[in-house]
Amino acid sequence: MIERAYRTAEALGIPVWCQDEAGPYQAIPQAGASWQPVGRPAGMPHEYVRGGTAKLLTLFRPATGEVRALPVERAPNAVLHPWLQAEITAILATLPPPEPGHGTAAWEWRERSLWNLATLPPVRLLLVWDNLTGHHTPDLLSWLVARGVWPLFTPLGGSWLNLAESVQRILVRRALDGQHPRSAAEVLAWLGQAVAGWNAAPTPFAWGGKRAARRQRARERRHALGGSGGYTQQPMPRTRRPPYQLPLPNGYVHGN
C-alpha cells in the first residue's frame, strides 16, 4: 500500500509526505569523521558532562526533497500534534483547491470499514508515518481526514517504509558527526542549521532502485506451496508415476 503510494500518488496530483520524530540526541561527544591535518586526528574527551537531549520533528516530501522540521527538547503529543497541524495547514494552503472527484482513485487506500466513504472529502495529501499510539489519537485522525489528509501507517517492523527516517539519518550526520555539543541548545541549533542547508539544495528521493529490484528477484526465486502462503527456496522434487501397463492373460506385463 505505502509502496504504491510512493509510486503513483504524485502522478495523480496527490502529494505524499512522511512524518517521523528522530532522537533523542545527547549533548555528548559524537563519533564521526572530520577533516584534520595528516597525523593529527581529532580527539574526544573521555570524561564529559551530559548536557541534555534533543529531538527532531520532521515532515519530508520525497518527490521534491523538501523538509519541514522543528528541533525540540521533547516530543509528547502536546508538542507534536499542534506542530503537525500547523505544518499540514500551511502545506494545504499551497495546494490548488480540490476538484470534484479529484483523488477518487487514491481512496482505494482507505480503511473502508472505519469511515463512511460518502461523507469524506477528496484526498488532497497522503501522510506516511509510524504506527505509534499517539498517531492513533481520534481527535487528530478526525482533524486530518476532515481536511482530505489520509494517514498511511507503517506496519510493525516496517519503519523502513517511512522515507522520513532516511533523510533524518542524513541530517543528523551532517549536524552532529564528529562534534561535541555542550548543551541541548547547541544540538537544537545545529539540527536547525542542517535542515536549512538541506533545503537550500534539496535532493528528491525515488522509491525503488537496486534494492527493490533485488527484493523482486528474490520473490521470483521463491516456489509457492499449493494450498498455503508458504514457499520454498528450492523446487520440490516431483515423483513420477510409472506408466500404466495392461496385464497380459498369462500374468505378464508389457516389457517383461
Q: Is residue 40 part of a domain?
A: yes
Distance CA 59, CA 67 (A): 6
Q: Is the peptide bond before 71 cis (omega within 30 degrees of 0)?
A: no
Instruction: Judge whether 168 lies within some domain.
Output: yes
The predicted structure's pLDDT at residue 248: 61
- Residue 162 resides in a domain: yes
pLDDT in tens, the chain (256 residues): 787 888 878 878 889 999 988 878 888 777 777 777 888 877 776 777 777 888 999 999 999 999 999 999 888 889 999 999 999 999 999 988 876 655 444 445 444 444 455 567 788 889 999 888 888 888 898 899 888 888 888 888 778 888 898 899 999 888 888 887 888 898 889 999 999 999 999 998 888 767 777 877 777 777 766 666 676 766 666 666 666 565 666 655 555 4
Strand order in the sheet with 16-26: 66-72, 53-61, 16-26, 125-129, 149-153
Residues 6+ apart with CB under 8 A from 239: none
Q: Residue 134 in contact with residue 26, Cβ under 8 Å? A: no
Classify residue 254: in a domain, yes or no. Answer: no
Supply the CATH number for residue 166's domain. Answer: 3.30.420.10
HSE, side-chain direction, 13 A CA sphere, residue 226:
1
Q: What is the pLDDT of residue 113?
A: 43
38 in any annotated domain: yes
Specify if 30 maps to a domain.
Answer: yes
* Residue 106 forms part of a structural domain: yes
- pLDDT the model gives residue 42: 73
Orientation angle between helical segments 77-93 and 138-146, nearest 10 degrees? 0
Task: Quickly list DSSP for 203-234.
Answer: ----S-SHHHHHHHHHHHT-EEPTTSS-EESS
- For residue 152, the cross-strand partners are 128
Query: For residue 40, what are the domain limits?
Result: 2-200
Evaluate whether 167 touches 58 at the Cβ level (below 8 Å): yes
The pTM score is 0.72
As a whole number of Å, the end-to-end CA separation of the chain is 62
What one-character DSSP code corresponds to residue 161?
A: G
Contact (Cβ atoms closer than 8 angstroms) between residue 62 and residue 203: no
Q: For residue 149, which phi and psi values (nearest 5 degrees)? A: -100, 115
Considering the domain boundaries, does residue 205 fall inside one? Answer: no
- pLDDT in the model for residue 57: 92
Overall number of domains in the chain: 1
123, 127, 118: which is closest to 102 by C-alpha? 123
